[in-house]
Structure 1
């Protein structure tokens, strides 16, 4: 089996609710998604998605994603899409860094491989764990009252996890506002729920310590990605009384090994397009599991194709270490594919369909913005 053609599509995903806010004054009204279709000489085709979280989350942006694919795609023509390590090596040797550009290509090849093997993708990634995967909401920064209301709305939809954004500037209310946000969002906490207070690397150590000192004892939450640098995070780690989970600082296997060797965190947020696709995700999942780190399986943002990838990875992750999986469908208003994985009683389960199990909506994707291999 050989890769014959690669088509690239671009689509804007409007933010549900109109605007999404992160620490540092970052705001988003839409996300620029890149979706690829890889076709083979045997008739199998696979789909993948890479949607950066704007241009200020990590060193990635949508224009760069497609520019990277423009370099990578021609080198994959004629290769076997089932040889994941060789494909990854080829992409690494063609373009250093730019994991977001490798993501959609890597996912599409795994989709093909699973279809050719006659299996759902999760069965190729270690085997399906039984039962639904608990899903986590993503609550943008707002007033404490509005954030509490958003948590309640997601709870009513069945979400068991909640990622609440913090990182208010001093002018907005600083540590006091962030402490109020955390307390408000946890005020109605139900048994079995898991909360992340996510700063997206937006806090100084001083801000974080002030915020934590303002919180009452007994609040059950995890502080995610508090600081922008390893030095700051390690300094906070030595004085922090809540569990720490790393996200943006961990992109490569080397990053994860550094976090483990320095005992910087208690868990890690693995995000498909941040890590670079499925191939590095499963490598890093194994490393994290070996160190006993808990994991959330997510993506930066995305549509149904992104969620399908997340769900299959999560479905094959050791359940005792898995906390939640992100459903990015809840963050945007546009649907790019049919994917049968409803949220029921707090979770979703990967379907038994072959591969990712997605049926892209070609009328929504429109014409390819680039095609390779013709």
Structure 2
């Protein structure tokens, strides 16, 4: 089996609720989604997605994703999509960096490999762990009252985990506003819920320490991605009693090994497009597990294709180390594929169909904006 054609689609994913706010006064109203469809010489089709979180989250942006695929896709024509390490090595030797672009192609190859084996993707990634995967909401920065209401709304939809965005500028209210946001969101805490206060690298150690000093004792939450640099994060680590989970700073196996070696954190946020697809996700998951780190399995944002990828990886992750999985469907106001994975009692299960188990809506995707093929 060989890759015969790679097609690229572009779709805008409007933000549910109109606007999503992060630290640093970053605001988003829509996300630019890139989808890859890989067709083999035997007619099998695989789907993959990469949707950067704007252009200021990590070093990725949607037009750059598609420009990088323009270089990567021709190099994969004629390769066996089931040989994921060889696929990854070819992409690595063709173009340095650009993990976001590799993601869409890597995921589509895994989709094909699992279909060819007649297995759900999670069974190709170590095996399904029985039971549903706990899912986490993503609560954009807002007033404390509005964020509390969003937590309640997500709880009523079945979410048992909540990621609260913090990182208010001094002009917006600074550490005092962030402390109020955390207090408000945890005010109605229910048994079994898990909370992240996520700064998306938007805090200085000084801001973080001032915020923590304003909080009452006994609040049970994890501080995620507080600072933008390793030095700042390590400095805060030495003075912070809360568990730390690192996200944006860890994009490669080398980054993760550094975090473990320096005892920088207690957990890691693995995001499919940030890490570069399923192939590096599995490597990094194994490294984190060997170090006893807890994990959240997520993506920056995305459609049902991204959601299915997240669920399959999370479904095959040791449950004692899995804290949550992101359901990006709750973040956007459009559906572009069918995915049978409802949230029930705080969790969702990866589909049992071969591959990702999704069926894209071709009318929603429209015509491909690029196509690559050759003689396999």
Distance in 1, Cα, partners of 2:143 & 2:345: 28
Structure 2 unaligned regions, length at least 5: none
Give how far 1:103 is off: 0.2
Q: What does residue 97 of structure 1 align with?
A: 97
Paired residue secondary structure (1:197): strand
Paired residue for 1:150? 150
2:189, 2:67 → 1: CA distance? 44
Q: How does 1:148-187 map onto structure 2 within 5 Å?
A: 148-187=148-187
Question: Is structure 2 residue 329 aligned with structure 1 residue 329?
Answer: yes
Structure 1 residues 196-241: Cα deviation after superposition (integer angstroms, max 9, x where no partner): 0000000000000000000000000000000000000000000001
Deviations 1:100-141 (A, max 9, x none): 000000000000000000000000000000000000000000
SS of residue paired to 2:142: coil
Distance 1:336 1:371 in 2: 20
Residue matched to 1:360 = 360
* Cα distance in 2 for residues equivalent to 1:190 and 1:95: 47
Alignment of 1:259-338 (within 5 A): 259-338=259-338
What secondary structure sits across from 2:6 in the alignment?
A: strand
Structure 2 residue 239 is the aligned partner of structure 1 residue 252: no
Aligned residue number for residue 370 of structure 2: 370
Aligned to 2:60: 60
After TM superposition, the structure 1 = structure 2 runs for residues 29-44 of structure 1, keeping only pairs within 5 Å, are 29-44=29-44
- In the TM superposition, what are the counterparts of 1:131-146 in structure 2 within 5 Å? 131-146=131-146
Q: Report the counterpart of residue 345 of structure 2 in structure 1.
A: 345
State how far apart, in whole Å, the 1-side matches of 2:120 and 2:44 are. Answer: 14
1:9 maps to which residue? 9
1:366 shift after superposition: 0.1
Q: CA deviation at 1:42?
A: 1.1
C-alpha distance in structure 2 between counterparts of 1:112 and 1:170, whole Å: 49
What secondary structure is seen at the aligned counterpart in 2 of 1:13?
strand
Partner of 1:120: 120
User: Which residue in 2 is equivalent to 1:198?
Assistant: 198
**d(CA) in 2 for partners of 1:261, 1:94:** 30
SS in 1 for 2:239: coil
Give the deviation of 1:282 after TM superposition: 0.3
SS in 1 for 2:260: helix
Q: Deviations over 1:261-309 (max 9, x none)?
A: 0000000000000000000000000000000000000000000000000
Show CA shifts across 1:169-189 (max 9, x none). Answer: 001110000000000000001
Q: What runs of 5+ residues in structure 1 fail to find an aligned partner? A: none
Shift of 1:371: 0.2
CA distance in 2, matches of 1:69, 1:337: 22
Does 2:72 correspond to 1:69?
Answer: no
- For 2:134, what is the secondary structure of its paired residue? strand
* Aligned counterparts of 1:123 and 1:43: Cα–Cα separation in 2: 23
- Distance in 1 of aligned mates of 2:72 and 2:36: 12
Partner of 1:107: 107
Equivalences, count: 374
For residues 129 and 277 of structure 2, the distance between their equivalents in structure 1, rounded to whole angstroms, comes to 21
Q: Secondary structure at the match of 1:42?
A: coil
SS of residue in 2 equivalent to 1:200: coil
Determine helix, strand or coil for the equivalent of 2:46. strand
Q: For residue 54 of structure 1, report the CA deviation from its aligned partner.
A: 0.2
Residue equivalent to 1:51: 51
**In structure 2, what is the Cα distance between the partners aligned to 1:349 and 1:172?**
39
Cα offset, 1:351, TM superposition: 1.3
Which whole-Å CA distance do the structure 2 matches of 1:101 and 1:120 have between them?
Answer: 24
